[in-house]
Amino acid sequence: MPVLEIYDVNQPVLRQRARKVGRVTSAEQRILDDMLETMRAANGIGLAAPQIGVSQRLIVVELDDVTYQLVNPELTDASDETDVVREGCLSLPNYYGPVERPVRVTVRASDRDGRKVRIKATGMLSRALQHEIDHLDGVLFFDPQRMRSLSDLRYEPPQPDGENADEPSDEQTAKRKSIPVVVSAA
């Protein structure tokens, strides 16, 4: 499985609404597997197909040793309760900012074998799924509907120990950077 180039936020494909996938074939499975490999190589916890230049509704998320390879993921439910957590994106390396999102969501999708799945997610998984589904609609985490102000976006140089994870980083990193993980809760 090759590690692919990750497209940056200036590439038009990141702003397109990705196409729905018809049937899951070996072609889609190969893309999902390449995405997983690419995400792991970049120390990310999630990746959407447009980030490798493929405008199809495919995402991968890997958290706590659980791997999700999802086809046509859809948010079917979201909690009224929201929180604000620091996020980043592999398509905008080393930039982070506070993003408000529902705490709990339900996602309907097909898995890598084309079977229907329903995922009830909270915490980091909920947030990662929402971030990746946003990518399928051409929405980026620093857009006005996600981040209150672009001035909240901060550049943080990569750490010498190689710690440079995509998406919300751990509490320790946030503390070191003086950016609270939870800025507010509704």
Which residues form the catalytic set?
132
Which residue number, 25 or 92, has a Cβ lying nearer to Zn ion? Answer: 92
Question: Residue with CB nearest Zn ion?
Answer: 89
CA 70/CA 118 separation, integer angstroms: 10
CA 107/CA 61 separation, integer angstroms: 13
What token pair was written down for 85? 């957590």
| Eight-state DSSP code of residue 171 | H
Residues 33/67, Cβ–Cβ less than 8 Å = no
Q: Which residues bind Zn ion (CB under 5 A)?
A: 89
Task: Give the shortest CB-34-to-Zn ion separation in angstroms.
Answer: 17
Task: Give the shortest CB-114-to-Zn ion separation in angstroms.
Answer: 25
Residues 51/36, Cβ–Cβ less than 8 Å = no
Task: Give the shortest CB-128-to-Zn ion separation in angstroms.
Answer: 9
Task: Give the shortest CB-127-to-Zn ion separation in angstroms.
Answer: 11
Q: Which residues contact 181 (CB under 8 A, 6 or more apart)?
A: 85, 86, 168, 171, 174, 175
Which residue number, 89 or 133, has a Cβ lying nearer to Zn ion? Answer: 89
**Mapping DSSP to helix (H, G, I), strand (E, B) and coil, where does residue 128 land?**
helix
